[in-house]
Amino acid sequence: RIEVVANECMSSGKCIGDFPQAFGFDEDELAMLVEGGLVLSDQDMLRAARNCPSQALQIFDDDGEQVPT
């Protein structure tokens, strides 16, 4: 799974530009996951996390362990 760490987000919109069906802006203009949105593949999650300039996207495996990006 992928999570947005809101207090790390700098609102660059890179994740939204790359995956608009999965990410959006909240009322504070911080990235958020779109409810009911596109479920990203493992490769797309890695791409989104690696492209985030503020490293606000974290990925976790099925055991709940954070995946290094």
Pairing of strands 2-4, 23-25: unpaired
Place of tokens 């992928």: 2
Burial of 36 (0-12, 13-18, 19+ CB in 10 A): exposed
pLDDT at 26: 96
Sheet holding 2-4, edge to edge: 2-4, 57-60, 66-67
In this prediction the pTM is 0.91
**In this predicted model, what pLDDT tens digit does every residue of 9-52 receive, in sequence order?**
999 999 999 999 999 999 999 999 999 999 999 999 999 999 99
Strand partners, 4: 57
* CB distance 44 to 51 below 8 Å: no
